[in-house]
Amino acid sequence: MNDQDYNKECVEAMIRQQNRELRTEMEAELKNLRELTKYKRPSVTASIIIKDLSTGKYLLIKRRDDPFKDHYCFPGGFLKVGEETINQTAIRECQEETCIKLEEKDFFPIDVRSKPDRDPREHVIDHGFYAEIYHASEKAMANDDAAEIIWVTEEYINTIELLAFDHNEFWSNFKNSRRYISDATLNINQ
């Protein structure tokens, strides 16, 4: 075997080895990719119940678009993935839909709802919040996804058969949580 043949065999052996290594790396990356896409990812939203403490009334929006066009619900919307936290989503959506500017200190979480069919578009996990603000009704205007806004009593909300999405459940969870909210407020003020 001459030097040229030997060099050719060495080069071919190195190429075969590199191809094996590359194939192994590609198979590992493909396996990782399969693992990542194995589970579908739901979308995430924030919804917020707002009470105007000066009137004792709650804010509802009438949806401008489908799904649930012309149905009432509480303000809210989708999280911008990679850009904001769920609290920032609540603040942004509230301002976009009602022109009410909240700060994180103005609200706190009530619940998380994740039934697969709560939104007909896709599986959406919603984080529900509650805010109390004085004179909010003076600042509020319908905007963005909201065709109109109304300020209503608790009794009125209780009569609405179908709030958009699962906001009847959200409302019920809020009402059930109020005793804990009152207890917590009493403990803080003591």
Active site residues: 148
Antiparallel, parallel or unpaired: β 57-63 and 107-113: unpaired
Q: What gap in Å lies between CA 46 and CA 89, rounded to an integer?
A: 6
Q: What gap in Å lies between CA 76 and CA 119, rounded to an integer?
A: 13
CA dihedral for 142, 143, 148, 151, sign (positive or negative) = negative
Contact status, residue 131 vs residue 102, Cβ threshold 8 Å: yes
Q: Per DSSP, what are the bridge partners of residue 25?
A: none
Task: Determine if the peptide bond prior to 67 is cis (ω within 30°).
Answer: yes
**What is the Cα 73 distance to its own chain's centre?**
15
